[in-house]
Structure 1
Amino acid sequence: MNRILQTSGWLVLTLLSVMMSGCSTDEIPLGEVHGQIKLNGQPVDGCLVMFEPVVGGRSSTAVTDIDGEYKLQFKGNTAGAMLGKHKVRLITGRQGRSDDNGRIVEPGRKEELPKEYNTESTQIVEVTSGDNRIDFEVDVAK
């Protein structure tokens, strides 16, 4: 009887480990996503780019460089975004930071983009397998 319990215990552990190995991010199909963000024809530096899957799941993020270019990261060193439709948020606004003595170490930044691109985003895009170049050109009347 003890031997049966030991054997069935090992069988349960083996089945659990096999099932858990199927849950890794390596098996989630991803598409590579990159592009450029421009505001009134000029590249936007330091813009947080968020792709949120419409059906739910892990978001992918990036921050634009000085040329407004971004490349999405899914998790850790894994680039890309889940396949399917995503709501996109582009965020340039940030709160400032002070050190322990109250000195400003990083000034805040006012949101430059309209709410349709961030807090009330209406931007929906589709990520497919392979390479996806998705640019955003935002024009705002001055």
Structure 2
Amino acid sequence: MMTKRCCKLLFCLTLSFILTACGGAPDDQPKLAPVSGTITMDGAPLSGAFVRFYPTSGRASAGKTDEEGKYELVFIRDEKGAILGKHTVKISTLDEDNDPFGNQGSETVPDKFNKKTTLEATVVEGDNTVDFELTK
């Protein structure tokens, strides 16, 4: 009888240790800052475009422009923002992350802003407004 109690206690202690360890400490999270802006193509708002900020290390942040060309970056799930520091930026009207086979039609944004991007941005503490005025 004592052995069953010891096993149950050991199981409960092990389970609570695992659950605590899997949660991770808040300090494990990289420092983020809010990023939003407007994207235009030849002076007109670029709606439905995917914008991705790729830091030198760590997870990318992404957003999608609305009808006015406005976007807001999301780091993960409901957590908004991007990692502090320098980023390479890619803008595309195709969502290549969700269709790796490229079966979505034709790209309207020139390669120099996506596949062969020349765009960069630096995210600093506080609110960041990063606008892009693209031209064909």
TM-score computed with the length of structure 1 as normaliser: 0.71
Aligned AA (1:34): S
Aligned AA (2:53): F
Asked whether 1:136 is paired with 2:135, we answer: no
Q: Give a deviation string over 1:13-53, Cα, whole Å, max 9, x none.
A: 98877765555587321010000000000001100010111
Q: Which runs of 5+ in 2 are unaligned?
A: 1-12, 97-102
Which segment drifts farther, 12-21 or 44-53? 12-21
Q: Tell me if structure 2 keeps the 8 A contact 1:92–1:109.
A: no
Q: Give a deviation string over 1:82-141, Cα, whole Å, max 9, x none.
A: 00111100011369xxxxxxxxxxx9442111111100111111001110000000122x
Q: Tell me if structure 1 keeps the 8 A contact 2:48–2:67.
A: yes
Q: Which runs of 5+ in 1 are unaligned?
A: 1-10, 96-106
Aligned AA (1:138): L
The percentage of counterpart residues that share the same residue type is 35
Asked whether 1:65 is paired with 2:77, we answer: no
Aligned AA (2:65): T
CA-atom RMSD in angstroms: 3.0
| SS across alignment from 1:70 | strand
Q: Tell me if structure 1 keeps the 8 A contact 2:50–2:95.
A: no
TM-score computed with the length of structure 2 as normaliser: 0.74
CA distance in 2, matches of 1:22, 1:94: 31
CA distance in 1, matches of 2:91, 2:79: 21
Corresponding residue to 1:35 among 31, 34, 37: 37
Q: Give a deviation string over 1:50-69, Cα, whole Å, max 9, x none.
A: 01112333x11111000000
**Which residue in 2 is equivalent to 1:88?**
89
